[in-house]
Amino acid sequence: MLNSNQTLIGTDEQTDRRSYLAWLMGLCAAGVGTVLALPLVRFLLYPIKVKTTDLKWSDVGPVSDFSSLNAPVQRSITVEQIDGWRKNVSDKVVYVTRNAENGLQVLSAVCPHLGCSVQWRGTLNEFVCPCHSATFKPDGTRTGGPAPRGMDTLQSEIQSGRLMVRYQYFRQLVPGKEVIG
């Protein structure tokens, strides 16, 4: 027969065992929680690690289309931009024209003044911005109006017989060309 002291000792041992089991289960739960949270943390941090201006090359067309170019031509291109885990696809207007060395170059149609879409006026042999009448030579050099610089050239190259361009955005209202995205 157990006396009251033995009963108390037995109760203390059971309490210790239960506390130890609870501590062990808590440790296991914390370990499992950490393992399960790792993919979530990686997913959340992915957009921070990825470059937000990861631009792909856009196809302007076969370079043979521009071999006898003697005036700027307008082209619509598809631009793919990676923004974190989101992919943006949009259409942009560019002009293919000749530079001062008679080589091909691609100009952004975005006016460096306030961002209106610059238009080629063949009869005037110049680009004209419809918003505040900035004017530019066929090679994009500024000739008049409030635009602080000439039209922005885009990085371009010929790949497998096709004219390719990397579309970028530039800061407006400043005299120098500054990439903003």
Residues near ligand FES (CB under 6 A) are 111, 113-114, 116, 129, 131-132, 134, 145-147
User: Does an H or E element contain 47, and which?
Assistant: helix 4-49
Radius of gyration of the chain (CA): 32
Number of other CB atoms surrounding residue 149 within 10 Å: 19
Structure tokens, 176: 């120098």
Residue (113 or 149) nearer to ligand FES, CB: 113
Distance CA 94, CA 110 (A): 9
| Cβ(176)–Cβ(142) below 8 Å | no
* CB contact at 8 A, 106 and 60: yes
Q: How far apart are CA 65 and CA 130, in angstroms?
A: 28
Shortest Å, Cβ 67 to ligand FES: 31
Handedness of CA 122, 94, 105, 134 (dihedral sign): positive
**Nearest residue (CB) to ligand FES, 118 versus 164:** 118
Closest CB 155 distance from ligand FES, rounded Å: 23
Considering the complex, state which of residue 107 and residue 134 has its C-beta at the smaller distance from ligand FES.
134
Residue 153 Cβ vs ligand FES, minimum distance, rounded to whole Å: 17
Residue closer to ligand FES (CB basis): 77 or 128: 128
Minimum distance, C-beta of residue 132 to ligand FES, in the bound complex (Å):
3
Nearer to ligand FES, 66 or 127 (CB): 127
**Could you tell me if 161 and 59 are in contact, meaning their C-beta atoms sit under 8 angstroms apart?**
no
Residue 178 C-beta: closest distance to ligand FES, Å: 17
